[in-house]
């Protein structure tokens, strides 16, 4: 046992909250895509409503971090851990927003057409949601290699995004009357692609936490 | 101003090996903080920088402390002149039981300055330098013991400055002071480093982080890590340093 058990236990709670927040964001992505593939508008509504929980968690974690800075005056690894957490939650909150944005598109669908033409979307969502969860567990497990692996996996999401785009360009060329649906799917793909980018951002902060360097620049 | 180069400094108090092969380059016009738990050797090390350990019975010191290339422990060194070059401020403010003016003029008088005009000027400039002049200018001939603790400590800094040292050593200079006085001394140190090289021992890690440019961490007589303060407090290299500064020590 270290000499600061109460501080250690606060830091542990911070990690648990981060994992819970990441879990909510990951679930929001999965549910929004399930809403698409299962043509389930109720689930889409549910995703949009649950976004508030993620926003609340952001505030809770923010408050915890600021109190720890105030009361514990952390240095070294503790300082890096708390400042990384503060940066990460902004990205997780944005991820939640984007899952909610996807759900919102689905709530306003006029027909089932997008589900039929969204060939690569479920795979994109699967990879992106795993990236989100893995990025946060890389942080809580102090696992730099896992963070780097998540960053590398963003190429998979980007490739799928390109495939979705080419499919839609082709579709619009052959069936111009499906342009509305194509735009909806394009938006969904773009949101998923952005979610991948947010997971990368989180991992870049994990690199800072482990090495003191952010995007190869020493911050301190 | 002066840089200090310490090479393989060993110090024994009898059988107690209090400093183990300490080597460090102390930069001029910078504040170097020495941190570490009680008994780690940081104050002992500070005292070796102006030979204050010489008076301790059974002390044995080897290695070199070079100030501007000159070894402090060379037999030809005049210790009185050395202490003129290297001033010291202690944990507890220790003004002499005499007037404010005489406290500051004490050192210059010892070193032969007799002209009142010259002494007046030294006293005034030293008090200004120590950010105390405005508070005491109307009572320079009152007893120094009538000052508050924080003022007494600034007086001691003025007294140290009066002999125009190149280096100022400070041994926990604010540990007996209230927060406002502490902040005043810290602000003062930041201006003093433009003219002097400052080495400070402190138990207050936030203080080291706030004011020092470099930090050295000591543990059982060994200097475990030395580097830029921001590096030490953000990404220390040695696990023992990390454990100490994050309070996970022991």
Could A79 and B233 be called an inter-chain contact, meaning their C-beta atoms sit closer than 8 Å? yes
Could A80 and B234 be called an inter-chain contact, meaning their C-beta atoms sit closer than 8 Å? yes
Could A75 and B250 be called an inter-chain contact, meaning their C-beta atoms sit closer than 8 Å? no
Dihedrals phi, psi of A73, to nearest 5 degrees: 40, 65
Alpha-carbon distances, residue A162 vs A102, A156, B243 (angstroms): 18, 10, 48
Q: Does residue B38 sit at the A interface (CB-CB below 8 Å)? A: no
**Distance of alpha carbon B113 from alpha carbon B123, whole angstroms:** 12
pLDDT band of residue B68 (cuts 50, 70, 90) is confident
Q: How many A/B residue pairs have CB atoms within 8 Å? A: 40
On chain A, the residues whose CB falls within 8 A of the CB of B250 are: 3
pLDDT of residue A174: 93
pLDDT band of residue A3 (cuts 50, 70, 90) is confident
pLDDT of residue A89: 97
Domain-wise residue ranges, chain B: 4-245
pLDDT value at B250 more than 70? no
Task: Kindly provide the ipTM of the predicted complex, given to two decimals.
Answer: 0.83
Give every CB contact of residue B58 below 8 A, 6+ residues apart in sequence: B12, B13, B14
Q: What is the pTM of this model?
A: 0.89
Lowest mean pLDDT among B79-83, B142-146, B205-209: B79-83
Mean pLDDT of B96-107: 97
On chain A, the residues whose CB falls within 8 A of the CB of B233 are: 75-76, 79
Per-residue pLDDT tens for B163-198?
999 999 999 999 988 999 899 999 999 999 999 999
pLDDT band of residue B1 (cuts 50, 70, 90) is low
**Burial class (CB within 10 angstroms; exposed 0-12, middle 13-18, buried 19+) of A4:** middle
Q: Looking at the DSSP assignment, which residues form a beta bridge with residue B22?
A: B9
pLDDT band of residue B83 (cuts 50, 70, 90) is confident
Per-residue pLDDT tens for B13-35?
999 999 999 999 999 999 999 99
Give every CB contact of residue B23 below 8 A, 6+ residues apart in sequence: B6, B7, B8, B9, B223
Could B234 and A4 be called an inter-chain contact, meaning their C-beta atoms sit closer than 8 Å? no
- From the list B205, B230, B248, which residue is nearest A2 (CB)? B248
Specify the higher pLDDT residue, B96 or B79: B96
Percent of chain A with pLDDT over 70: 99
The mean of the pLDDT values for chain B is 94
Report the CATH architecture of B4-245: 3-Layer(aba) Sandwich (3.40)
Domains of chain A (ranges; CATH) run 3-218 (1.20.58.220)
Q: Does residue A80 sit at the B interface (CB-CB below 8 Å)? A: yes
Percent of chain B with pLDDT over 90: 90
Per-residue pLDDT tens for A92-139?
999 999 999 999 998 888 877 777 788 899 999 999 999 999 999 999
């Amino acid at each position: 046992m270290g000499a600061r058990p109460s501080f250690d236990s606060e830091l542990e709670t911070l990690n648990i909250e981060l994992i819970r927040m990441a879990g909510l964001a990951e679930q929001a992505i999965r549910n929004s895509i399930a809403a698409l593939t299962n043509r389930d508008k109720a689930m889409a509504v549910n995703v949009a409503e649950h976004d508030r929980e993620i926003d609340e968690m952001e505030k809770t974690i923010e408050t915890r971090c600021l109190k720890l800075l105030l009361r514990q005056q952390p240095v070294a690894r503790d300082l890096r851990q708390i400042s990384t957490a503060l940066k990460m939650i902004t990205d997780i909150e944005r991820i939640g927003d984007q899952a909610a944005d996807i759900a919102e598109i689905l709530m306003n669908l006029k027909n089932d057409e997008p589900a039929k033409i969204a060939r690569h979307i479920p795979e994109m969502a699967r990879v992106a949601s795993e990236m989100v969860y893995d990025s946060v567990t890389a942080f809580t497990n102090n696992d730099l290699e896992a963070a780097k692996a998540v960053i590398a996996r963003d190429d998979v999401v980007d490739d799928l995004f390109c495939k979705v785009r080419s499919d839609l360009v082709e579709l619009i060329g052959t069936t111009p009357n499906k342009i509305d649906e194509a735009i909806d799917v394009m938006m969904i793909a773009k949101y998923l692609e952005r979610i991948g980018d947010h997971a990368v951002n989180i991992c870049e902060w994990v690199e800072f936490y482990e090495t003191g360097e952010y995007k190869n620049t020493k911050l301190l | 101003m002066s840089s200090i180069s310490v090479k393989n400094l060993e110090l024994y108090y009898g059988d107690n090996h209090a400093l183990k092969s300490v080597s460090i380059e102390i930069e001029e016009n910078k504040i170097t903080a020495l941190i570490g738990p009680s008994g780690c050797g940081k104050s002992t090390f500070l005292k070796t920088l102006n030979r204050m350990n010489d008076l301790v019975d059974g002390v044995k010191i080897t290695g070199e402390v070079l100030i501007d290339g000159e070894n402090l422990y060379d037999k030809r060194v005049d210790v009185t002149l050395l202490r003129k070059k290297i001033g010291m401020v202690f944990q507890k403010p220790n003004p002499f039981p005499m007037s404010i003016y005489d406290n500051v003029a004490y050192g210059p008088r010892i070193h032969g300055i007799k002209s009142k005009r010259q002494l007046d000027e030294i006293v005034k400039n030293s008090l200004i330098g120590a950010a105390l002049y405005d508070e005491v200018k109307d009572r320079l001939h009152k007893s120094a013991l009538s000052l508050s603790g924080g003022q007494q400590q600034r007086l001691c800094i003025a007294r140290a400055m009066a002999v125009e040292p190149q280096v100022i050593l400070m041994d926990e200079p604010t540990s007996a002071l209230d927060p406002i006085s502490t902040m005043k001394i810290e602000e003062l140190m930041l201006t003093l480093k433009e003219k002097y090289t400052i080495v400070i021992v402190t138990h207050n890690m936030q203080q080291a982080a706030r004011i020092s440019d470099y930090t050295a961490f000591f543990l059982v007589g060994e200097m475990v890590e030395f580097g830029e303060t921001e590096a030490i407090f953000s990404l220390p290299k040695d696990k023992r340093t990390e454990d100490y500064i994050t309070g996970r020590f022991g």
